[in-house]
């Protein structure tokens, strides 16, 4: 009888330890993504450098870090004016 | 009652400090009256005499060029005669200071021993040592 | 040349000052020359926990502003001749001290002391930046609560940005009975999340309040479980290899187990 009772408690997630762990995991994914602000700025610069070797960008490169379903998601959007021709690629590279 | 800030006490009030006290000289900048609790982190510095109508909590500091009189419980640090005068006194309705300084002397309550009595006391320098005694009429030198 | 250790947490009220006092006192009990710095300018507390509040004449701001020498502001502990406290200012502005001045102060203290223990204020503002400026290592204090662990994580990031790598963790106020019934995060849960090294676990202990009332650190009280845990932490910080206390076991059970284990 006692063993049944204890199992029921554990299954139902009554112990607040598990809740604490879950909440922390979510909060920290968020926090760590927010702190990554500087990282995003740096990333944007580097990515633009790489992209401009291959394409001419129409406007500023958009780089965003978001969180969804407990994971950080990096979104990168670029409007391209034109692809660089092979000759100009060689010049750059 | 009006806040008696920096003014001479009205007739009949207890005069503060020794014969040099400002109110006798009739100047208006010699006494500062504080009518509130002085709390931790607050530091009151005044070149003349300081009178507190309230308590002085631990972590608070009173620094006066002249005397310090607390009409309440003094538990913070009080420095009388801060410009070097060892004639200055610190008096309080209940004297339980963290530390007392008069002129260039510093003293603190002993770590062990009897507690302070429940009566008004005055600290002053006698033969180069800060001594505390019961506050009697004589100290007012009326 | 000594070593400077900052005790930090991010969140307030998790026991940084108590930890600083107990580690500093423990190291002194081991015979080390120790200086403790209260870096919480405007809200000083370490002097009260140490029972030294009535000895303060000069403070850290007086030192950096040149009103006194460092040795004049250092207060010798009333129990140990090799333990000193540099008190924070209580009535002055936080911005009175800069990280550069703090670094110079800590360097100077390291000349004469084997350990300089810095009590960091809560928060991540200038007080925090000052406190970590001169430190060689960092110890993070955290309790088994969501908010405390979250703030500890933030602090670890900030410490890394300031080139203070490999901070060590103290988990404070662990209640074994709550852990047993699944109502408190276990030390391992916190280590999984923060991914840093553990330097000690402090059980929740009423003696801590008694000792702060008296101004005597718990490490000096025989029979205080928290005091024992702090003594172990001090030995680990000094480089000794000390086994961890088993907080799950009831007090009597553990000591018996230990005795049998020795055979």
SS (H, E, C) chain C: CCEEEEEECCCCCCCHHHHHHHHHHHHHHCCCCEEEEECCCCCCCHHHHCCCHHHCCCCHHHHHCCCCCHHHHCEECCCCCCEEEECCCCCCCHHHCCHHHHHHHHHHHHHHCCEEEEECCCCCCHHHHHHHHCCCEEEEEECCCHHHHHHHHHHHHHHHHCCCCCCEEEEEEECHHHHHCCCCCCHHHHHHHHCCEEEEEEECCCHHHHHHHHCCCHHHCCCCHHHHHHHHHHHHHCCCCCCCCCCCCCHHHHHHHHHHHCC
ipTM exceeds 0.85, yes or no:
no
Q: What is the pLDDT of residues C67-89, one digit of tens each?
A: 999 999 999 999 999 999 999 99
Residues 6+ apart with CB under 8 A from B79: B61, B62, B63, B64, B68, B100, B101, B102
Q: Is C128 in contact with C47 (CB distance < 8 Å)?
A: no
Distance set, CA B38 to CA A15, B42, B78, C59 (Å): 47, 6, 12, 20
Residue of C nearest to B77 (CA): C54
Q: Which one of B41, B108, B109 has the shortest CB-CB distance to C91?
A: B41
Q: In this model, does residue C54 exceed pLDDT 50?
A: yes
SS3 A55: strand
In degrees and rounded to multiples of 5, residue B107 shows phi and psi of: -145, 155
Which residue of chain C comes nearest to A36, CA vs CA? C157
Q: Closest residue of C to B60, CA-based?
A: C91
d(CA B9, CA B24): 10
Terminal Cα distance for chain B, rounded = 25
Calculate what percentage of chain B has a pLDDT beyond 90.
64
Q: What is the mean pLDDT of chain C?
A: 91
Res. A81 pLDDT band, cuts 50 70 90: confident
- pLDDT at residue C15 tops 80: yes
Split at pLDDT 50, 70, 90, the class of C96 is confident
C250: pLDDT strictly greater than 80? no
- Is residue A41 helix, strand or coil? helix
Residue A89 pLDDT class (50, 70, 90 cuts): low
More confident: B141 or C180: C180
Q: Distance between CA atoms of B122 and B132, rounded to whole angstroms?
A: 6
Task: State how far the alpha carbon of C258 is from the alpha carbons of B120, C179, C245, in Å.
Answer: 57, 22, 10
CB nearest to A17's CB, from C149, C183, C193: C183
**Would you place residue C38 in the very low, low, confident or very high pLDDT band (cuts 50, 70, 90)?**
very high
Give A2-48 pLDDT, tens digit per residue. 444 444 444 445 689 999 999 998 888 878 877 666 677 788 888 88
Mean pLDDT of A57-65: 83
Query: Chain C contact for B105, CB < 8 A?
Result: no
Where b means 16+ CB within 10 Å and e means fewer, C217-240 reads: bbbbbeebbbbbbbbbbbbbbbee
Grade residue A87 by pLDDT with cuts at 50, 70 and 90. Answer: low
Between chain B and chain C, the number of residue pairs with CB atoms below 8 A apart is 28
pLDDT above 70 for C263 = no
pLDDT digits (tens, 9 = 90+) for B15-70: 333 333 443 444 456 899 999 999 998 999 999 999 999 999 999 999 999 999 99
Confidence (pLDDT) at C166: 93
Which one of B76, B95, B98, B110 makes the best mutation probe of the C interface by having the most chain C beta carbons within 10 Å?
B98
Residue of C91, C121, C214 to mutate for B, most B C-beta atoms under 10 A = C91
What does the alpha-carbon distance between residue B50 and residue B94 come to, in Å, rounded to a whole number? 16
The beta strand positions in chain A, using DSSP E, are 55-57, 62-68, 71-77, 80-83
> Please, which residues bridge with residue A72 across strands?
A67
Contact C90 B40 (CB under 8 A): yes
- Residue A24, classed as helix, strand or coil, is helix
B71-126 tens-digit pLDDT: 999 999 999 999 999 999 999 999 999 999 999 999 998 877 777 889 999 999 99
Q: How far apart are the first and last CA of chain C?
A: 41
Asked if residue C12 has pLDDT above 90, the reply is yes
Stretch C107-124: mean pLDDT: 97
- The SS3 assignment for A21 reads helix
Instruction: Name every residue whose Cβ is closer than 8 Å to that of residue C186 and which is 6 or more positions away in sequence.
Output: A17, C144, C179
């Amino acid at each position: 009888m006692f063993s049944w009772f204890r199992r029921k408690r554990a299954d139902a997630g009554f112990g607040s330890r598990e809740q604490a762990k879950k909440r922390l995991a979510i909060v920290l994914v968020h926090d760590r993504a927010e702190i990554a602000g500087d990282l995003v700025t740096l990333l944007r610069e580097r990515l633009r450098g790489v992209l401009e070797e291959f394409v001419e960008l129409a406007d500023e490169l958009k780089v965003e870090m978001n969180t969804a379903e407990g994971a950080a998601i990096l979104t990168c959007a670029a409007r391209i004016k034109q692809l660089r021709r092979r000759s100009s690629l060689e010049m750059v590279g | 009652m009006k806040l008696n800030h920096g003014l001479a006490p009205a007739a009949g009030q207890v005069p503060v400090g020794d014969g040099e006290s400002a109110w006798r000289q009739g100047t208006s900048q010699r006494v500062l009256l504080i009518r509130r609790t002085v709390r931790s982190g607050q530091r009151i510095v005044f070149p003349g005499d300081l009178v507190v109508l309230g308590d002085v909590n631990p972590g608070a500091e009173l620094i006066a060029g002249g005397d310090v009189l607390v009409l309440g419980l003094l538990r913070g640090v009080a420095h009388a005669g801060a410009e070097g005068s060892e004639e200055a006194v610190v008096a309080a309705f209940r004297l339980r200071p963290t530390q007392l300084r008069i002129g260039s002397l510093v003293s603190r309550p002993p770590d062990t021993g009897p507690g302070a009595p429940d009566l008004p006391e005055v600290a002053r320098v006698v033969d180069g040592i800060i001594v505390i005694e019961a506050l009697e009429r004589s100290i007012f030198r009326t | 040349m000594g070593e400077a250790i900052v005790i930090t947490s991010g969140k307030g009220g998790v026991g940084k000052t108590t930890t600083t006092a107990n580690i500093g006192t423990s190291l002194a009990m081991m015979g080390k020359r120790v200086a403790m710095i209260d870096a919480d300018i405007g809200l000083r507390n370490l002097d009260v926990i140490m029972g030294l509040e009535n000895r303060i004449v000069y403070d850290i701001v007086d030192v950096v502003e040149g009103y006194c020498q460092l040795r004049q502001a250092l207060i010798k502990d009333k129990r140990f001749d090799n333990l000193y406290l540099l008190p924070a200012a209580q009535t002055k502005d936080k911005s009175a001290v800069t990280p550069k001045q703090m670094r110079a102060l800590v360097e100077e203290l390291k000349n004469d002391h084997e350990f300089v223990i810095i009590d960091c204020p809560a928060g991540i503002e200038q007080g925090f930046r000052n406190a970590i400026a001169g430190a060689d290592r960092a110890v993070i204090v955290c309790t088994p609560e969501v908010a405390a662990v979250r703030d500890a994580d933030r602090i670890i990031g900030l410490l890394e940005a300031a080139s203070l790598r490999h901070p060590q963790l103290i988990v404070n106020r662990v209640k074994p009975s709550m852990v047993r019934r699944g109502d408190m995060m276990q030390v391992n849960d916190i280590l999984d999340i923060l991914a840093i090294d553990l330097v000690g676990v402090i059980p929740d202990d009423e003696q801590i309040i008694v000792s702060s009332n008296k101004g005597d650190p718990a490490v000096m009280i025989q029979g205080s479980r928290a005091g024992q845990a702090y003594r172990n932490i001090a030995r680990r910080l000094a480089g000794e290899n000390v086994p961890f206390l088993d907080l799950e076991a009831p007090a009597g059970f553990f000591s018996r187990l230990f005795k049998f284990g020795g055979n």
